[in-house]
Amino acid sequence: MNKILIINKPKGLTSRDVVNIIGKKFNTKKVGHAGTLDPLATGVLVICINKATSLVDLLSGYKTYKANATLGIETDTLDIEGKILKEENIDISDKDIRNCINNFIGKYNQMVPLYSATKINGKKLYEYARKNIEVELPSKEVDIKNIKLLSIKRNNNKIEIEFICEVSKGTYIRSLIKDIASKLGTVGIMTDLVRISQGKYKIEDSYTLEDIEKDNYKLVDITDIDINKEIVDIEKEQKIRYGQIIEKTFNGDLIMYLNSNKEAIAIYKTYDKDKTKVKPYKMF
């Protein structure tokens, strides 16, 4: 069984916890996810089972989140669960907040948060943080494709905001909130986060862990991913199964070849500089 399962991750569990639960349910150790969610966060977690785990990099595209933040508070983890480092009373106009958030649309270099699983010299950043070891935080280019402010509330000289954003792979919403706050001349933390979609998979299509336990779910076939597809004859199928380099007959860089039963055989990618041939990329 090489399938994809869309989970609505509950608050309090790590993405790895969910992977372990699904692995136990389907009696396999070959389970992975296509994009980490913090324990604080809920929502869409794309789970890949058995050979579908090879598709993780193809499923880690743009993601949409609904986020809540409080401006005027700073913690070591950049979210509400961390140790408070700083608090300040703030008075920022709705117009300034709205303009600031709108200005984040586009690409920018984002610093990776200290409490994250990003590795430096073979160790995860949170391992350095827990041992109070100083380390230079890396930064990377992220793309904020869309962002929309939903609400602004004022509470005890702090400002609570809610927004929806569509962002590229590797974007940390905690860091985005920190950067928004910094542009406004203050500090800020994430208080809640829901991933409402990842690529074509939406939260309405997801299942809770309780659904999985009760066998109330539908698995997604690997042929469902957004990629060029071609049904091949037996002769071409044999060449593909042997991993042979073949002529390119499609636009783009990747294609999934299917047999006459519309089952996935392999994914091939462009091979040569002239882009006339393709070679194996993922084999099923």
Catalytic status, residue 274: no
| Cα 146 to Cα 36, 82, 101, 112, distances in angstroms | 21, 28, 10, 20
**DSSP assignment letter at 37:** -
Cβ atoms of 140 and 170 within 8 Å: the answer is: yes
| Cα 119 to Cα 11, 22, 41, 60, 114, distances in angstroms | 24, 26, 21, 18, 10
Sheet strands (E) in the chain: 3-9, 31-33, 42-49, 63-71, 73-75, 84-87, 106-111, 119-120, 123-124, 139-155, 158-167, 188-198, 201-202, 220-221, 228-231, 246-247, 254-258, 264-270, 277-283
Q: Which of 17, 38, 211, 221 is catalytic?
A: 38
Cβ atoms of 279 and 252 within 8 Å: the answer is: no
Spell 96-112 as b/e; 16+ CB within 10 A means b. ebeebbeebeeeeebeb
**Can you read off the two tokens belonging to residue 20?**
């372990």
First vs last Cα of the chain: how many Å apart?
Answer: 11
> Which of 100, 122, 124 has the alpha carbon at shortest distance from 114?
124
> Which of 208, 263, 156 has the alpha carbon at shortest distance from 44?
208
Cα–Cα distance measured from residue 71 to residue 156, given in angstroms and rounded to the nearest whole number: 11
Residues forming the active site: 38
